[in-house]
Amino acid sequence: MNRKLLTGNGAAAWGARLARIDYLPAFPITPQTEIIETLSNWIEGQELECRMVTLESEHSMLTAAGAAAVTGVRVFTATSSQGLLYAAEMLYTVAGWRVPLVLVNVSRGLSSPITLEPDHNDVLAMRDCGFLQLHCATCQEVLDNLLIAYRLAEHPRVRLPVLVNLDGFYLSFTREPVQIPSQREVDRFLPPFEAGSISFRGGEPLSEGVTVLEGSAYSYFRYQAHLASLEGIAVYEELGQEFAKLFGWDYSALECYCSEDAEIVLVMIGSFATKAKEAVDRLRETGRKIGLVRPRLVRPFPVAALRQALAGKKGVAVIDQNLSPGKGGILHGELASVLYGTPEAPAVLASFVGGLGGRDISSEEFFEIHKVVQRAVATGITPEPQLLYTEEELRSLRKMQSVARAVRSNQGGGA
């Protein structure tokens, strides 16, 4: 085990390398590109035996990834934002093939307006495709989850592709200390893939991706993918324990931080959740009973674990780094469906939307969220959904608006 400073992208590349990937179909996009650059340098330097091919689009990249997976080789690929959506059709398609592969998505806000900074609308737009989704909060989790992702995807009870998500900038370009296990240690956790019936070869006919014209049969196949995905919860827990035995730290579908005795719980996914942990620590110092619950698995969604973790809490604040126009925060809706009708459901389930397009969430804002929820618990009135957006931000936007609509005297004339 070697502890080094690595960016989230570097950790993803290390995860792929240690997983001994066979095949890397690629396409560059910010902020993911460093992953494929790093892997390509290793391939050229003969440190990694892998075939890399740059396709002409993410749609083709995912097609090639899935098609290669059907031959039984271990496939890795990565994209971000617009690329993920460009490949969207193939995410659904490949998931239906029931073959394993791992896709890293480096979250970045979606156009329009086009941006480079992160939020989770890209990955949540792919919520329903059938890929399992692992969401990382630290660079260490990126590496570890990549290894677990292959076990999960290749597990006979699952056999679905897995998406590992990390936030652009806040993880992708941020260095943190990361424990890099040795190849020998990883080989003990992640053996070569035994593809079994997944193979194209002469003498063994296989028709894959076939048409199913009749609703009843379609329902069966689609629901089977759902059931396999649900199996992923227990499999992830098992793998998390096995990982702990070999590496010394464990993984679970939920990260529960100070939540056991908490009265108020924050729920969020991704790297901003560590900021929430910082706020929890500060509030705990002042005697507030607050905690954090962070789903690492978003698909399958750990419903039972969430119910258990949130049972009897007085108030829950869901902080969504995403927005479904016309509805609001996506996780808030997911949580409501998890908790509704359960005997010990928290009375207050408040919705906050923040961090869109990489907008920061300050410690003060976490404190304020706590205050708002505390007040709601006292009054019994759930607050309206709140966008984390200040008067000062609007003032600065007003300045931009005045520029965007300015009538200018010396058009094109220079200074």
Q: Which stretch binds another protein (CB under 8 A): 230-238, 241-249, 302-310, 387-395?
A: 387-395
- Would you count residue 44 as binding another protein (CB under 8 A)? no
Q: Is 344 in the site for another protein (CB under 8 A)?
A: no
Pick out residues in 212-241 that bind another protein (CB under 8 A): 212-213, 217
Are 132 and 152 contacting, i.e. CB atoms less than 8 angstroms apart? Answer: yes
Q: Radius of gyration (Cα) for the chain, nearest Å?
A: 22
Residue from 28, 56, 58 nearest 40 by CA: 28
Q: Give the DSSP H/E element, type plus range, for residue 256.
A: strand 254-257
> For 173, phi and psi rounded to 5 degrees?
-110, 5
Cα–Cα separations (whole angstroms), residue 237 to 149, 231, 241, 259, 291: 12, 10, 6, 19, 22
Exactly one of 43, 230, 336, 387 binds another protein (CB under 8 A); that residue is 387
With contacts defined by CB under 8 A, name the span among 19-27, 235-243, 316-324, 332-340 that binds another protein.
19-27
The residue within the footprint of another protein, chosen from 275, 294, 296, 313 (CB under 8 A), is 275
Q: Does residue 381 bind another protein (CB under 8 A)?
A: no
Backbone angles phi, psi at 188, to 5 degrees: -70, -30
Which of 182, 224, 362, 379 touches another protein (CB under 8 A)?
362
Q: Residue 178, interface with another protein (CB under 8 A)?
A: no
Give the C-alpha separation, 13 to 1, whole Å.
Answer: 17
- Please state the separation of Cα 218 from the chain's center in Å: 28
Among 12, 36, 48, 68, binds another protein (CB under 8 A): 68
Residue 293, interface with another protein (CB under 8 A)? no
Q: How far is the CB of 371 from another protein (least distance, A)?
A: 8
Q: Which long-range contacts (CB under 8 A, 24 or more apart) does 381-387 make?
A: 382/347, 382/348, 382/349, 382/350, 383/350, 385/328, 385/329, 385/332, 385/350, 385/351, 385/352, 385/353, 386/350, 386/351, 386/352, 386/353, 387/352, 387/353, 387/354
Which listed range, 60-68, 157-165, 225-233, 240-248, lies at the site for another protein (CB under 8 A)? 60-68
CB nearer another protein, residue 64 or residue 147: 64
| C-beta of 261 vs 364, nearer to another protein | 364
In the complex, least distance from residue 265 CB atom to another protein, rounded to whole angstroms: 16
Q: What residues between 97 and 156 interact with another protein by CB under 8 A?
A: 112-113, 116
Q: Does 301 bind another protein (CB under 8 A)?
A: no
Within positions 185 to 204, which residues make up the interface with another protein, using CB under 8 A? 200-204
What's the closest the beta carbon of residue 413 comes to another protein, in angstroms?
Answer: 8
Alpha-carbon distances, residue 300 vs 87, 131, 229 (angstroms): 21, 9, 6
- Separation of alpha carbons 365 and 293, rounded Å: 18
For another protein, the closer of residues 281 and 344 by Cβ is 281
